[in-house]
Structure 1
Amino acid sequence: MKRIFVLLFITLCASSCVVLSPKKYKSLVAQRDSLSSALTGANNRITSLEDELARLRSDTALLHSEIAGLSSKVSGLNSNNASLRAASDRLSQDLKKREARLREVEEILRKRDEATLALKDKLQKALLGFQQSGLSVEIRSGKVYVSLTDKLLFSTGSIVIDEKGKQALAGLATVLNTQPEINISVEGHTDNQRVVNLGQIKDNWDLSVLRATSVVRYLTEAQKIESTRITATGKGQFQPIEDVNTPEARSRNRRIEIVLSPKLDELYDLIK
């Protein structure tokens, strides 16, 4: 049986197989090797491309993550920027309000300074005859100070205003009665010499206070200045004009200072 199959195979080959020449065979082998080499190269290229694709996918995923993070930061920055812009707008509005208030305050102070200067001029004219007797008028810190030495108002050690002093105070009151918007403070000052033999007056504190109240009483009772506008204080020896201990300096330190200041209710309302 086996022999029959072998004979049959030989017969078929004899009828259908082609016998190749050595040259043709070598050519086909060379083509086969070339195709095999090309296939290997293609497979290697495919592997390389697959690796590169994997890297690109990984890089793409990383970039998406970074983009998402940056987008989140941008959103946060935009939110912060909006908050800062709103805060800036509020500050700008507040600054405008403050500038407006500042202009109002400056205008009030300008008017105060004008009124103070005008008051000083009126007082200097009204009291011109007393300036050689120890009276002076000056502006300090936006207030008018009328300073009268004790010899213009009182006898030595006395708290009773003499006639010349009353004339000076009457001239002062003439101006002040036309200036109801002016507050008045009367300050008594003494020298540093110890008070002796003045009855119920114990010391320089007493003397300064009693002299100030004598002036206030004369201005309110005799000259009809409203009591609500005026105050009396005693400074004793503790606010001297001059610190040197000479008769001339002590004489200048013994004085009544009448401090005149414009009412600034409008200004106080602004700065509350």
Structure 2
Amino acid sequence: MKKIILFGAVALLTLGSCVSKKEYLALEEKHKETQDLLNTATVKLNRCLADEAASAARAKELTERLADMRATNQALIETSKDMTVLTTKGATNLEKSLESLKEKDLKISRLQDALTKKDSVTLALVTSLKKEVGLNDPDIEINVEKSVVFISLSDKLLFKSGSYNITNRAKEILAKVATVINGKPDFEAMVEGHTDNVPYRQREGLIDNWDLSVKRSTSIVRALQDLGVAPSKLIAAGRSEYVPLVDNITAENRAINRRTKILIMPRIDQFYNMIEEEMKSLSKE
């Protein structure tokens, strides 16, 4: 009887140990996922902080220049008090100078507000995409390039070799992308197809890599339209082999270059670009 009890106790201890190990492995995996997310967030935060520091330095320089101009005009005003006669032309010029300072002060404030809003919208869009599409797939990249948010998808996720018909896996990913685009009524999406430099063998009515890249782009656009994205918000483009990420010297590099980029852009992006150019002009004055 004692042997039976002893055997049962050992079995229970062994079972408990197995369960604890599974829980430990699950916690360890969860910790790794959390650490990966933290590392990604830290890199993005550091980049945002660097951008913020650069913007703050530029704003400080403009503010100091504005203060100098105000001081100069104030000195002119004080000097004018000692003058016996202030000509009408001089008074007019002084008034124009003061008005110009007011306009520049207001313009700088609006520029800073617009750039801050742009950065906030971009960051929110990246966060939304990473939440919807996910971070753990090495064949999916979500990032910001020249103030435009983009998703880069490896062609092995989207198409079979030499084909422009999308896979079922691609439809799952595009459904998530469509959700984000539909949630941003003021945004539009441009789909860019990219190939490697291997000459395309003519088939399926296609001539070369230009045709293949554009045809793949239009396949993605049609899929997004079928998923509810308004066609007026979609742009199809093909870049063929001429914008490679790496040299086409190995099979691995060619696989990297075969990709589709979905750029999600605010319709007011041209306005933001105009503001940035205006700020550059102000800094040169």
State the match for 2:254 in structure 1. Answer: 250
**Cα separation, 1, equivalents of 2:273 and 2:241:** 36
Q: Is 1:161 aligned to residue 181 of structure 2?
A: no
Specify which of 100, 116, 138 is matched with residue 110 of structure 1: 116
Equivalences for residues 4-23 of structure 1 within 5 A = none
**Cα separation, 2, equivalents of 1:266 and 1:133:** 32
State the match for 1:147 in structure 2. Answer: 152
Which letter maps to 2:169?
K
Specify which of 89, 92, 107 is matched with residue 101 of structure 1: 107
Equivalences for residues 139-218 of structure 1 within 5 A = 139-218=144-223
For these two proteins, the number of residue pairs brought into alignment is 194
Contact preservation (8 Å) 1:240, 1:253: yes
Alpha-carbon RMSD across the aligned residues, in angstroms, is: 2.6
Which letter maps to 2:132?
A
Deviations 1:194-235 (A, max 9, x none): 001433111111111111111011101x21111111111111
The 1:248/1:89 distance shift into structure 2, 3 A limit, reads farther
Alpha-carbon shift at residue 159 of structure 1 (Å) = 0.5
**Residue range with higher mean Cα deviation, 185-194 or 102-111:** 102-111
Contact preservation (8 Å) 1:105, 1:267: no
Contact preservation (8 Å) 1:116, 1:262: no
Larger Rg: 1
Deviations 1:63-98 (A, max 9, x none): xxxxxxxxxxxxxx9889753553243133123213
Unpaired segments of 5 or more residues in structure 2?
1-82, 279-285
**Cα separation, 2, equivalents of 1:269 and 1:142:** 10
Deviations 1:179-208 (A, max 9, x none): 111121111111111001433111111111
Alpha-carbon shift at residue 259 of structure 1 (Å) = 0.5
Which letter maps to 1:178?
G
Specify which of 268, 271, 285 is matched with residue 267 of structure 1: 271
**Residue range with higher mean Cα deviation, 169-178 or 131-140:** 131-140
The 1:109/1:215 distance shift into structure 2, 3 A limit, reads same
| TM-score relative to the length of structure 2 | 0.62
The 1:265/1:96 distance shift into structure 2, 3 A limit, reads farther
State the match for 2:35 in structure 1. Answer: none
| Superposition misfits of 4+ residues, deviation over 2 angstroms | 77-89, 265-272
Contact preservation (8 Å) 1:182, 1:262: yes
Deviations 1:24-79 (A, max 9, x none): xxxxxxxxxxxxxxxxxxxxxxxxxxxxxxxxxxxxxxxxxxxxxxxxxxxxx988
Unpaired segments of 5 or more residues in structure 1?
1-76
State the match for 2:33 in structure 1. Answer: none
**Cα separation, 1, equivalents of 2:270 and 2:200:** 44
State the match for 1:44 in structure 2. Answer: none
Deviations 1:162-193 (A, max 9, x none): 00011010011112111111121111111111
Among the aligned pairs, what percent are the same residue?
Answer: 34
**Cα separation, 1, equivalents of 2:270 and 2:156:** 39
The 1:270/1:203 distance shift into structure 2, 3 A limit, reads closer
Alpha-carbon shift at residue 151 of structure 1 (Å) = 0.6
